[in-house]
Chain A
Amino acid sequence: MKQILALAFATLLAACGRSTDVTLYVALDQEHSEALVRRFEEESGLRVNARFDTEASKTVGLVSAIVSEKDRPRCDVFWNNELAHTVSLGQKGLLEPYASPAAAGIPAAFKAEDGTWTGFAARARILIVNTDKLGTDRSAWPTSIEDFADPKWKGRCAIARPLTGTTLTHFAALRFALGEERFQAWLDAIQDNVVWLQSNGATMRQTADPQTEIAFALTDTDDFHVALQKGHAVGAVFPDQAEGGLGTMLIPNSVAVVRGGPHPEAAKKLVDFIVSEQVEAILAASKSAQIPVRAAVQGPESAWILGIDDFRPMVWDADEVASHLAELSAAFAQRYGGTR
């Protein structure tokens, strides 16, 4: 036991000895982001201390850590796989504005007005359709989020409970895009029609699973792409593309410099790398099939996933959504987190 303890402490000391040039908190899938981090290390010669979030924590982990560490920030750069929590960190005054020259090609809609965050590589909120259950004739497929309210799909369509992650952001954005009244009416209409699941991963799995009743569901393009890669019989619909329609919700990755972080200069270099065209291209080609926000960058290989100019995105105000996220999340928790 003594030797083991001695060994443990020796390793502990050794682990603390390594130097760090910049600290990165990443909420994007570790499998992809880790390789990119290594690439940055090779290119820049800087040593990155990367901390990854997990799905289990539903972004509680890293965002909570940044908030809790505010008196003595440890993180230099926060790379979030969505936008709302980043914006809310900005609203709490925890982010430092930085306009990266590498982000020049990114449309203004994907950048904060005050420069506190930069959006890139987005996921779309799409309908995943099981082609065995609904057939390959696309005219029979749902086309809009309004289809979740259609009685003919009762028990055959699924949405994740809008308590966390992209579904929460999506619902919060819908609240402002539709207006309070229309939004509540939509919620009431879909309430008993929809099978409410735990996560977007679950909606994907339930739809792909030939054993279930679920024929289509709301999910993210990356989850859809995983199903596709695993060989499931699935197709994708970018919803609400009709003339005058709402458009498809698009949620970009976001990156931000943390205010008061220990390595501000290295942080900027890291941000420059993360928002670069090559990272967008790599993420587009990866298993998560992120949609580049620069039209010039090659998009995902799959024909199901459209390029940024090939569909109409839903217009939403990230600041407005973020500032109401907590209150909406509480309301959703009452509605969906509780007993029936």
Chain B
Amino acid sequence: MPRPVDLLARLPLAFAAAFGVLCIVLPIGAMLLETVHGPDGFTLAPWATILATEVDRQQILASVGLGLVAVAVAIVFGFGHAWLTTATDLPGAPVLGPLGIAPLVIPPILVAMGFADFAPASGFWFCALLLGTSYAPFVAVMTARGLRAVDGRSYEAALVARGRGPAEGLLLRSILPEIAAGCLFAFLFVISEHGVPEFLTVKGKAWHTYAEGVFGRWTRRATGVAHEDVVSPIVAAVPLIAITSLALWAALRFRARSMLRSDFRPLPTRTLGKWRLPALLLPVTYLTCGVGVPIFVMTRWAMGSTQTREPMSVDILRRSFRAGLEQSGDDLGYTLLLALLTTGLLLAVSIPAARAAARRFPAIDHLAVLPVAVPAVLLAIGFVKVFNSPVAGSLYDAVGYDVYDSMGVVGCAYAARFLPFGVLTLSQAVRRLPRSAEEAARLTGRGPVACGLRIHLPALLPAIWSVACLTFVLAARELDVAVVLPAGNDTVVRRLSNIVHFGGEDAGGALALMLLVAVTSLPILTVLLTGRKLRPLS
């Protein structure tokens, strides 16, 4: 008979499991069920259409190609930035380092649109560069995480034994799990991006990505009556899941087996010597591409670049900001709150899930990646099916609280979508912790709650901080889920995409800049308030 305190200890995992069932298995399961449930009963016919056409096959190749090139860009920028700002005496590293996450904030579609306004920008390579830069923060955050988790003595041992080159090689090998996870995330986001490739390939159509094809099918679902039309976007997501699984399998092969010891020493700071100043070029280029260009094009918009009635001016800029604030000041608050809710929820689910994945059920790592492997629209519609089902409805009526129409359901959907970041990052961190430190806590006789809060959680704190920063930024800019769920209506990004389409680039640019400032300043503010060191990338 388990004691109450033991039950209490199982509560977080039970919560994570319930979340997994409710927000991942049921929504995606409901969608898959739809594909085999035709008008005449069970059917597998729609599944036969997967990659059936030459067009589909070429698109998927284009997607993988785009993903690989963009990941290469992300590695150059993200890994380079993290390594230089974390492990060397690069001037200004403490300031440059945390900025590495900023390119993620402004959705790349806006950057593409703003950029195209004043310079010819199109084609595969530009698309790969733009997306690679935009998603390089995944690699940057993960690399920095890895570099901070490596015991400096193992590096020094190799340095003494074999010299600098082999020592760096060994270091690289030991943070490969983190780099691989960062690349995986960047790859997933690139191949599921449909707006940017579509926008950047408008002229002289030469290639299309698979995500564009999948997105096009959603229109057919909206208009179609035939079962095949309705379910075609769902089965079309299957190759994306397959590619994701493959990428995940590759990434997990590098999984950490090294343990941290309690007398852990951080990596020594490498001196760059005469390369100290030239090395600045990489972070500066990265931040120019990832932050400078977006700020530039958004400022141009806000200054009135898309109209010819009056010349661009600071006055227009002021008006744009006023218009942006008037239209969606509330949305900005709502978005930040939603991002916080998502972050809290994601941590509450991924911490117990990651501990279980690292210690008992490695399969959780694989399962948790599912929500980011399916297109966001699919997950969101699955959410509608589950959270607006008659069963759920009668439940809401019973408790007098309509979850479906609340921020809660959007927070859950976001948290489900971004869960892999939490689970993969944290399970990696748990694996690096020595079991004996946990066993020592267990033997003290203090309850599981005390052990959890005072021993297990603090040990994971750096990794939790990385996850929280990433989730917060991703939640603040998520669009596809917000588009489907009615309660996602009040997010800034949704408003932004609306304004920009209807010719309001000026107010849109101002709004994008406000979002950038709000999202990046919030982690910094938290740092200042809580007195933590300025390390959003730790």
Q: Footprint of B on A, CB under 8 Å?
A: 1, 4-5, 7-9, 11-12, 15-16, 20, 23, 25, 29-31, 49-61, 63-65, 67-69, 71-72, 74-75, 84-85, 88, 91-92, 163-164, 168, 195-199, 201-202, 205, 222-223, 226-227, 229-232, 287-288, 322-323, 325-327, 329-330, 333-334, 336-340
Contact = CB atoms under 8 A, between A and B. Distances in A.
A231 B309 contact: yes
Interface in B216-235: 216-226, 229, 232
Given A4-B340, A4-B344, A71-B389, A334 B53 contact: yes
B306 A197 contact: no
Nearest to B232: A330
B344 A30 contact: no
Nearest to A69: B388
14 contacts: A8-B337, A16-B405, A29-B502, A31-B502, A50-B489, A54-B501, A56-B479, A56-B483, A60-B483, A61-B483, A68-B385, A198-B202, A329-B220, A336-B205
A1 B377 CA distance: 30
Interface of B: 53, 55, 58-59, 62, 109, 195, 198-199, 202-203, 205-208, 212-213, 215-226, 229, 232, 306-310, 327, 337, 340-341, 344, 377, 381, 384-385, 388-390, 392-393, 401-402, 404-408, 411, 479-480, 483-486, 489, 494-495, 497-504
Contacts of B503: 201, 223, 226-227, 229-230, 287
Contact of B501 (A88, A201, A323): A201
Contacts, number: 219
A11 B333 CA distance: 11
A64 B344 contact: no
Contacts of A231: 307-310
Contact of B499 (A16, A31, A223): A31
Nearest to A323: B225
A164 B408 CA distance: 31
Question: Is chain A's interface secondary structure helix, strand, loop, or mixed overall?
Answer: helix
Contacts of B340: 4-5, 7-8
Given A64-B377, A163-B219, A323-B225, A15 B406 contact: yes
Most chain-A Cβ atoms within 10 A of its Cβ — which of B485, B500, B503?
Answer: B503
Contact of B219 (A68, A199, A329): A329
Contact of A5 (B195, B307, B344): B344
A54 B308 contact: no
B388 A71 contact: yes
Contact of A168 (B218, B219, B401, B502): B219
**Residue among B53, B327, B344, B393 with the most chain A CB within 10 A?**
B344
A338 B59 contact: yes
B415 to A, nearest CB: 12
A228 to B, nearest CB: 10
A12 B341 CA distance: 9
Counting from the closest, the 8 A-B pairs by CB-CB distance are: A326-B224, A55-B501, A226-B503, A338-B55, A230-B307, A231-B309, A231-B308, A68-B384
B62 A339 contact: yes
B393 to A, nearest CB: 5
Nearest to A203: B202
A74 B486 contact: yes
A288 B502 contact: yes
A16 B309 CA distance: 44
B490 to A, nearest CB: 9
B223 A329 contact: yes
Contacts of A72: 388-390, 392-393
A59 B207 contact: no
Contact of A333 (B199, B213, B309, B501): B213
